[in-house]
Amino acid sequence: MGVFGYIGKSNAVPVLVGGLRKLGFQGYDSTGVAVLEEGRILVAKSAGKLAELEEKLNGRIFASTIGIGHTRWATHGKPSESNAHPHLDCHGDFAVVHNGIIENYFELKEWLIKEGHLFRSETDTEVLPHLIEHFYEGKLETAVRKILTKIEGSYSLIVLSRQDPGTLVAARKNNSLVVGLGEDGYYLASNFSPILQHTKNTYIMEDEEIAVLTREGAHFTDFQGKAKEKILYEISWDPSAAEKDGYDHFMLKEIFEQPKALRDTLAGRLTDEKVVLKEMDLTPEQIAGFNKVAIVGCGTAYHAGLIGRTLIERWAKLPVEVDIASEFRYRTPLIDERTLVVVLSQSGETADTLAGLREAKRLGARIVAITNVVGSSVSREAHDVIYTWAGPEIAIASTKAYTTQIEAMILLALYLTQAKGTMSKEWIREIIAELKKIPDKAGEIFTQVAKVEQLAPLIKEASSAFFIGRGLDWSVALEGSLKLKETSYIHAEAYAAGELKHGTIALVTEETPIIALATQRDLYDKTLSSVNELKAREAKVIGFTFEGNDSFGQSVDEVFYLPETINELAPILTVIPLQLLAYYVSLARGNDVDRPRNLVKSVTVE
């Protein structure tokens, strides 16, 4: 979750612990530091909160002025002391802290083990110190540059070496890393928060850049070794803004993190032809034996499950039921060993979801969990786990957890589809090619943030708002309305667009904002008819659709055009402006965006 490094004149241990305190603001599961002292790398680690690490360090006198530290949010391997960073090579020559995912770690680890390296953790990160050990020929910078040609994935990493005792080497790719230039030394961190207490002067590392820090100075190169000129920035954020990477709220920060979270969730799981879910332990025969799928979750997770239903039925041709977890047990579901049960939970600790999982297990079903928290109860009790690599979600309103849950459902649906052979190989290739573009398309939406902000005043004073759509748009409408109600406290409901005329349209007046979603091409015309019915009752309609759907765009009062994608992948994009809309309406109403009233992040009571 956060890397930190220091080289300078001060005692490194208190500097590192102070930095980790800032980095691990919330949501980490283990911590560790490594310092260089009398020619040895000394490591202290702890599973749990920073206080436990401090306890371990208490009473030990350190005189080191160089070191690295880490707060971990588990990805590969459960939260434990052995999986906590820093990780060492075989002989304690190199220590590494790393944020991100090494996608090809498995192959690298197998190779390194054959070369005689001894691994002590389940992490992807541990391949890094062993690789450095393998390629080291007298200069740390050169060895790090060499290993970067071997690893695939995303990373911000810092390396400490007893062979090059006055040097820290850092590298970043698709992750963040900044360097602080203080009076007492240099600081390296995954965000500004641990640096700002020491200095406001910073260098921002760019993608595919290496930094080499010594007590004499910092120099930067690209991955090929070409020197880079850097601009020194003065950061004026206050410390609380720094914890949120400069965003005003965690909700906004997490909305903006979605391209990265989406990219990380796909990482290592797609070739050009197929989905690879190494974590699933199902044979094609077992998959062929399932006669239905049951999906269980609460709130936002339930909404992601609704999307999963459409995809699995449409592609894998398996019947699917979706239940709100708190209702699942009470309707005596017809579940047995031929049922694949998918349990969705960001936290992995929601009591209703856990109770549903246990009931399904008691009935003999095979359980797949989709969760964001490694080692959570749901992940421990399920037979298979697909992790969403969204990183910690702090805001109560779920945003990046939802879009990555949809992605995980897409991966699972494709995994079942390819095993059952229900769609052609060519078709799977096309979906995969488009899926790979989704993180960038999610990023494109942020060029239109101002447009969403301008829509907030149209909703801010409303006492009631309706979200409508058909097919997958209806599922997204449910999530959009939940976002609005939980953050703004405006009564918001989602309806299948065709159902409005069977009663609800009686509630619609010119005072009722309607958010109409139209991304399903085969349903454009039908949704347009519903919009026209609403317009005839003087309702104000805000439409969300793809460029080119002109008849729809011209029929609504305001229109937001989304980046084009295929129908089934559209929900990931459609929800992003709805999340932003909820955020800006909540802000305009002066609400506590990150901590809405009466809500907690994880509901651990039934």
Q: Does 512 bind ligand M6R (CB under 6 A)?
A: no
How far is it, in rounded angstroms, from Cα 467 to Cα 577?
A: 13
> What's the closest the beta carbon of residue 174 comes to ligand M6R, in angstroms?
26
Beta carbon nearer to ligand M6R, 300 or 475? 300
Residue pair 501/527 in contact (Cβ under 8 Å)? The answer is no
Shorter beta-carbon distance to ligand M6R: residue 213 or 482: 482
- Pattern of binders to ligand M6R over 349-378, x per CB under 6 A? -x--x-------------------------
Nearer to ligand M6R, 180 or 299 (CB): 299
Token pair listed for 199: 């200095």
Please state the closest distance from residue 377 (CB atom) to ligand M6R, in A. Answer: 10
Binding string, 466-505, against ligand M6R, x = CB under 6 A? Answer: ----------------x---x-------------------
In the complex with ligand M6R, the residue whose CB is nearer, 64 or 398, is 398
Among 15, 252, 275, 301, binds ligand M6R (CB under 6 A): 301
The amino acid that residue 300 corresponds to is: T
Q: In sequence order, what are the residues at sequence separation of 6 or more whose Cβ sits closer than 8 angstroms to the Cβ of residue 450?
A: none
Task: Give the pair of three-digit tokens for residue 207.
Answer: 């993608």
Part of the chain binding ligand M6R (CB under 6 A), chosen from 294-302, 326-334, 533-541, 585-593: 294-302
Q: Which is nearer to ligand M6R, 93 or 486 (CB)?
A: 486
- Token pair recorded at residue 554: 């011209």
Question: Of the two residues 53 and 301, which places its CB atom closer to ligand M6R in the complex?
Answer: 301
**Considering only residues 316-345, where is the footprint of ligand M6R by CB under 6 A?**
345
300 touching ligand M6R, by CB under 6 A:
yes
Beta-bridge mates of residue 160: 95, 168
Q: Write down the least CB distance from residue 442 to ligand M6R, Å.
A: 18
Specify the long-range contacts of residues 219-228, CB closer than 8 Å, at least 24 apart. 221/145, 223/145, 223/148, 223/149, 223/171, 225/145
Of residues 526, 478, 530, the one with CA closest to residue 502: 530
413 binds ligand M6R (CB under 6 A): no
Nearer to ligand M6R, 301 or 409 (CB): 301
CB of 352 to ligand M6R, least distance (A): 8
Stretch that binds ligand M6R, among 225-233, 298-306, 308-316, 435-443 (CB under 6 A): 298-306
Would you say 248 and 241 are in contact if contact means Cβ atoms under 8 Å apart? yes
Is residue 397 a contact point for ligand M6R (CB under 6 A)? yes
Between residues 472 and 482, which has the closer beta carbon with respect to ligand M6R?
A: 482
Please report whether residue 586 would count as binding ligand M6R according to CB under 6 A: no
Contact indicator for 195, 18 with CB cutoff of 8 Å: no
DSSP per-residue codes, 48-59: S-HHHHHHHHTT
Q: Which long-range contacts (CB under 8 A, 24 or more apart) does 304-307 make?
A: 304/344, 304/370, 304/402, 304/405, 304/406, 304/409, 304/479, 305/342, 305/344, 305/409, 306/475, 306/478, 307/406, 307/409, 307/472, 307/475, 307/476, 307/571
- How far is the C-alpha of 575 from the C-alpha of 341, rounded, in Å? 25
Give the interface size with ligand M6R as a residue count (CB under 6 A). Answer: 16
Per CB under 6 A, the list member of 84, 177, 210, 298 interacting with ligand M6R is 298
The stretch among 67-75, 263-271, 391-399, 530-538 that binds ligand M6R (CB under 6 A) is 391-399
Q: Is 270 helix (H, G, I), strand (E, B) or coil?
A: strand
From 30, 99, 202, 346, residue interacting with ligand M6R (rule: CB under 6 A): 346
Whether 495 contacts 540, CB under 8 Å: no
Maximum alpha-carbon separation in the chain: 81
Shortest reach from residue 486's CB to ligand M6R, in Å: 6
Q: Residue 167 or 372: which CB sits closer to ligand M6R? A: 372
- How far CA 66 is from CA of 52, 54, 184, 391, in Å, comes to 22, 18, 12, 28
Task: Residue count of the chain, please give it.
Answer: 606
Of 396, 432, 472, 515, which one interacts with ligand M6R (CB under 6 A)? Answer: 396
Distances (CA, A) of 373 to 37, 110, 269, 348, 531: 35, 26, 18, 6, 40
CB of 261 to ligand M6R, least distance (A): 14
Of 346 and 512, the one with the shorter C-beta distance to ligand M6R is 346
- Residue 43 vs 582, nearer CB to ligand M6R: 582
Binding positions for ligand M6R, rule: CB under 6 A: 298-301, 345-347, 350, 353, 396-398, 482, 486, 602-603
